[in-house]
Amino acid sequence: MLGYHVAYSKPIRNIYKSILDMDLYEVLTLALSCLFWKRYHDYIKIYCDEDYYNKLKNMDLLWLWDEVDNKTMSSIPQNLNHDRFWSYSKMYINSLQSEQFYNIDLDLFTRAPMPEFTTDFTVAHYEIVDSKKSHYYDFHKMKEFENFFKGFKFHKAAVNTSLFGVSNFDAYKDFMKWVNGFVIDNWVPLPESAKRFAYVIHSEQRMFFSWCLNNGYTMKSIMNRPFDCNSEEFLDEPTMDDGGIFHLWALKDKYKNPKYAEDKIKMTTDLIEGFQTHFPEEWDRFKYSISNVPI
C-alpha cells in the first residue's frame, strides 16, 4: 500500500516553527514514520520542495524513503495564501494521485498495519466541532461566502486527516475543484476569538467531512473515539483504541514551554529506545544523522 509524506517548507505558520527547524524528537518521529510504514506496507514516498530536500540530503536521511520527489511541489499554485492554508500543499498532492494511498503527516507514525480500503476515504478520527467556533470557525455564515456556500449543508463534525486514506481518488479531485473556490484569493480575516489554524482545518477537515456526506461518499475512522474541541481531548480517552497511531500533534505546542523540558527529554529518550528496539540495523546509520540535532 502506497504511503507518502508531503513537506512544503515555504509557509510561515505563526503558531508553529518552520518544518525545517526540527528538534530531535521530531526527526525521530519522522524516521519512525518511514520505517514502520515500510515494515507494514512496503512502500513510502515523500513529496518535498527543494529546501526540505536539501535539509534531508545534508542530514543523510533520504535513504529513509523508497522514492523522493522534489520536482512536483514546484507546480503548486501560488495564488493563495500558504501562510493561512499551510496544508494546501498536502491537499494538492492528494489531488494528483491515481491509485489508492495514505497521506501521513510528518509528525505521525503507525505501530500497526492500517486498514485495507472498504470505503471511499479513511481518516484518523472524527472531531466534534466546538460551539465556541475557535477551532472550526463558521466561514459559511459570513456574507463574503454566502454565495459560495449557498445550498451546501454543514454537519456538526469534522475529520482529522493527519493520517488520510483515499480509495476514491476521482472523488477527491472533484473535492479539490470545489475547495479551490474557497482557498484561492481568500483575504477574509479571522476574528480574534478564532484560532489561527481555523483557515486550515475548515478547508481540509470540516468542508471535506460535510462534502462527503452531501455527496454520498463513505468514510471510516481508524481511532474509535472522536476528539472533542470543547475540552481539547478525546472522548473516553482511558478506553480509547488509538488504532496503532502515534501523533505528536499538540505535544509540539506543549514542549515549546520550558516548564515541560523534562517531559520533552523523556519523550525523546522513549523514541530513541523504541528506535533501537524496533530498527537496530537502521539505528547504526541514523544515529550519525542526528548527532547535531538539538534536543
Predicted local distance difference test score (pLDDT) of residue 133: 77
Q: Where are the alpha helices (DSSP H) in 225-279?
A: 251-254, 261-278
**H-helix or E-strand spanning residue 122:** strand 121-123
CA 163 to chain centre: 6
Cα dihedral 76, 162, 140, 119, rounded to 10, equals 100
Mean pLDDT of the chain: 94
Copy the grid coordinates of residue 168: 476514491
Largest CA distance in the chain: 58
Looking at domain 2-289, its CATH class is alpha beta
**H-helix or E-strand spanning residue 128:** strand 125-128
Kindly indicate the confidence band of residue 118, based on its pLDDT and cuts at 50, 70 and 90: very high
Residue with cell 508531503: 6
C-beta of residue 158 within 8 angstroms of C-beta of residue 127: yes
β-bridge mates for residue 2, sequence order: 43, 101
d(CA 21, CA 42): 28
Model pLDDT for residues 88-111, shown as the tens digit of each residue: 999 999 999 999 999 999 999 999
Residue 76 class from Cβ within 10 Å (0-12 exposed, 13-18 middle, 19+ buried)?
middle
Which percentage of the chain shows pLDDT scores above 70? 100
Predicted local distance difference test score (pLDDT) of residue 116: 92
Three-class SS state of 192: coil
C-beta of residue 164 within 8 angstroms of C-beta of residue 102: yes
Q: What is the mean pLDDT of residues 178-196?
A: 91
Model pLDDT for residues 59-94, shown as the tens digit of each residue: 999 999 999 999 999 999 999 999 999 999 999 999
**H-helix or E-strand spanning residue 31:** helix 24-41
Pick from 277, 284, 285, 266: nearest CA to 25: 266
Kindly indicate the confidence band of residue 16, based on its pLDDT and cuts at 50, 70 and 90: confident
Region of 59 (left: φ > 0; alpha: ψ -120 to 50; beta: rest) is alpha
Predicted local distance difference test score (pLDDT) of residue 231: 77
Please, what is the end-to-end C-alpha distance for the chain in angstroms? 33
d(CA 78, CA 51): 17
Copy the grid coordinates of residue 248: 505528536
d(CA 73, CA 148): 28
β-bridge mates for residue 221, sequence order: 123
The CA distances from residue 16 to 81, 89, 138, in Å, are: 16, 16, 23
